[in-house]
Amino acid sequence: MGCQAPGLLNRTSVPRDVVDYIVYGTVIQEVKTSNVAREVGHMHLISAKSMKLSWELSRPAGVGMIAAGQCDVVVAGGVELMSDVPIRHSRKMRKTMLTLNRAKTLGQKLSLISKIRPDYFTPELPAVAEFSTSETMGHSADRLAAAFAVSRLEQDEYALRSHTLAKKAQDGGLLLDVVPFKVPGKETVTKDNGIRPSSIEQMGKLKPAFVKPFGTVTAANSSFLICRPAWAPVPEMIICQGHDVHGEPVTYHPRIIINFGIELSRRTDGASAILLMSEEKALAMGYKPKAYLRDFVYVSQDPKDQLLLGPTYATPKVLEKAGLTMADIDVFEFHEAFAGQILANLKAMDSDWFAQNYMGRKSKVGAPPLEKFNTWGGSLSLGHPFGATGCRLVITAAHRLKKEGGQYGLVAACAAGGQGHAMIVELYPQ
């Protein structure tokens, strides 16, 4: 977060005093920086008139503010500091410490201290299980893979594909969007450092990570949270269109421009930033548009058995809103939480039975062809700092459209709580 925001403005040559609003999101919050967007503004001396707030829906929030005519320039992004997550004292210790703080006499304090037991010092790690189901996402991914008959071998093969394609993209100069970041006491991070093509044989030696001993989800076919790479997109833009309350396609006025921002990380850490502008403002400042956001949707489904099926539910809805079909999409960028999750979604999307019995639809939307799907790697190989991944998906989709000469890109992701998101990105006419 300390480098990507100024990196974004420096790369785009945008004066800091023209930024009207900053919107940032994060998942694992640090109490000291509960409003990370405000800290970005203070840290980098962005104009005091800019308002800041933390919001997980940072990009749509920024788009909405420009579409409503309230702002011309918005910085939207996300951040995650997973190498130093807040670890609390146990509930027993917290209660004792709060009571101790209210004790007035030495006798009262000593009495409370004498009641402290060794187990009070057991730390309380951040909750990783779903609040509504008490099940971790890894366990859910394992059950989902089993439900859709996705084998361990299929998952390992897909994970290897992600790393192999990411390595190919990196070697081909396609993943150069990196803001160099000096890790205190270590070397400067200059490129994605989590790309590690292995072999099916090596991956097959790993034991199940969640459901033991017969589970199929392992550390190798899950998005890694141990070593997070870095990104920093080039300064180009997206314009946003949408629909009115009746579902009719409209162009927002002022239209929205996104200027691709910065993403960086240290180990499991990551931050992202995107510059959004009204079209009039962007053209007045001399920017060359790259693509525009045509539409986006959010969905929710059963968090117990369909926790990770957000893309399956969101994809047909965003296509319908945009008046498109799967055949119109040239680039697919889906968040890879787990290889099993991706493969289960592809099977669900290609199933008439699932569409009819679970989604209330007459027919399937169809699975994306793999030759168009995450061809520069994905979260399995590039990592997944929760608050920053969404920007990478949008950025990569737009870069691929320009590189491959496509017109439409579809971005989709699952999320905790049984939620999902999908977005249409369209190449700006050159």
Q: Over 90: is that where the pLDDT of 194 sits?
A: no
Are 53 and 97 members of one domain? Answer: no
User: For residue 189, what pLDDT is reported?
Assistant: 83
Instruction: Find how far residue 357's CA is from the centre of its chain.
Output: 29
- Whole-angstrom distance, CA of residue 225 vs CA of residue 370: 25
CATH number at residue 254: 3.40.47.10
One-letter identity of residue 366 = G
Inside any domain, residue 209: no
Are the C-beta atoms of residues 410 and 422 closer than 8 Å to each other? yes
- Whole-angstrom distance, CA of residue 45 vs CA of residue 6: 10
Are 344 and 405 members of one domain? Answer: yes
Are the C-beta atoms of residues 208 and 142 closer than 8 Å to each other? yes
pLDDT confidence tier of residue 261, bands split at 50, 70 and 90? very low
State residue 97 phi and psi, 5-degree precision.
Answer: -65, -40
Closest to 51 measured CA to CA, from 21, 83, 93: 21
Report for 7-21, 184-198, 315-329, 378-392: range of highest mean pLDDT = 315-329
Inside any domain, residue 214: no
Range of the domain at 62: 4-84+225-427
Are 59 and 104 members of one domain? Answer: no
Residue where a domain terminates, one of 71, 105, 121: 121
Inside any domain, residue 262: yes
- Higher pLDDT pick, 182 / 312: 312
Are 275 and 245 members of one domain? Answer: yes
Are 52 and 104 members of one domain? Answer: no
Q: Over 80: is that where the pLDDT of 157 sits?
A: yes
User: For residue 1, what pLDDT is reported?
Assistant: 55
Mean pLDDT in residue range 140-145: 96
Are the C-beta atoms of residues 69 and 254 closer than 8 Å to each other? yes
Are 234 and 112 members of one domain? Answer: no
- pLDDT tens sequence across 209-240: 999 999 999 999 998 754 333 333 333 333 33
Are 267 and 389 members of one domain? Answer: yes
- Higher pLDDT pick, 77 / 46: 77
User: For residue 53, what pLDDT is reported?
Assistant: 53
> What tokens appear for 168 in the block?
């190919």
The count of structural domains within the chain is 2
User: For residue 227, what pLDDT is reported?
Assistant: 35
User: Token pair 């997550």 is at which residue?
Assistant: 85
Closest to 427 measured CA to CA, from 237, 233, 282: 237
User: Token pair 């399956």 is at which residue?
Assistant: 312
Are the C-beta atoms of residues 34 and 55 closer than 8 Å to each other? no
User: Token pair 């994605």 is at which residue?
Assistant: 192
Inside any domain, residue 186: no
| Least confident window among 57-61, 86-90, 135-139, 190-194 | 57-61
- Enter the pTM of the model: 0.84
Closest to 163 measured CA to CA, from 381, 418, 389, 388: 381
- Whole-angstrom distance, CA of residue 121 vs CA of residue 149: 43
- Whole-angstrom distance, CA of residue 216 vs CA of residue 128: 20
Inside any domain, residue 17: yes
Strand partners, 332: 373, 410
pLDDT confidence tier of residue 323, bands split at 50, 70 and 90? very high
Are 235 and 358 members of one domain? Answer: yes
Percent of the chain topping pLDDT 70 = 83
Strand partners, 52: 22
Are 420 and 383 members of one domain? Answer: yes
Inside any domain, residue 265: yes
User: For residue 43, what pLDDT is reported?
Assistant: 64
366: left (phi over 0), alpha (psi -120 to 50) or beta: left
- pLDDT tens sequence across 24-75: 888 888 777 777 777 776 665 565 355 555 444 555 677 778 888 889 888 8
> What tokens appear for 100 in the block?
């101790």
Are 260 and 341 members of one domain? Answer: yes
Inside any domain, residue 43: yes
69: left (phi over 0), alpha (psi -120 to 50) or beta: left
pLDDT confidence tier of residue 5, bands split at 50, 70 and 90? low
Closest to 238 measured CA to CA, from 272, 279, 298: 279
Inside any domain, residue 194: no
Supply the DSSP string of 87-144, one letter for each residue.
-BPPHHHHHHHHHHHH--SHHHHHHHHHT--GGGG--BPPP-B-TTT--BHHHHHHHH
Are 362 and 403 members of one domain? Answer: yes
Are 46 and 102 members of one domain? Answer: no
User: For residue 228, what pLDDT is reported?
Assistant: 32
C-alpha distances in Å from residue 318, one per residue of 131, 231, 326, 332, 409: 28, 27, 11, 13, 11
- Whole-angstrom distance, CA of residue 160 vs CA of residue 152: 12
Q: Over 90: is that where the pLDDT of 245 sits?
A: no
